[in-house]
Amino acid sequence: MDIGWTELARYFGGAFALYLVLEGILPFVNPSAAQRLMAKLSRTEPAQLRWGGLISMVSGLALLWMARNG
């Protein structure tokens, strides 16, 4: 795969923009549920948050790999 820095920056910019859109759906559609979720997350143990983050990253990388190579 031979891409330049400009194209790589476009990919990252597009991915970040999509992340912001997806992240904003719940607070826009149901703000009270978003508040309850944030309150619950603030009471979660750091180790559980780390595992959740790791699982999310691995899942995202797997989906990205499948989208690019599948």
Neighbours of 25 (CB within 10 A): 10
Q: Please state, in angstroms and rounded to a whole number, the distance separating the CA atoms of residues 48 and 56.
A: 12
pLDDT band at residue 1 under the 50/70/90 scheme:
low
pTM of this structure: 0.68
Residue bearing the bigger pLDDT, 34 or 69: 34
Q: What is the pLDDT of residues 2-61, one digit of tens each?
A: 778 888 888 889 989 999 999 999 999 999 999 999 999 999 999 999 999 999 999 989
Q: How many domains does the chain have?
A: 1
d(CA 34, CA 57): 21
Q: Which domain holds residue 38?
A: 5-69
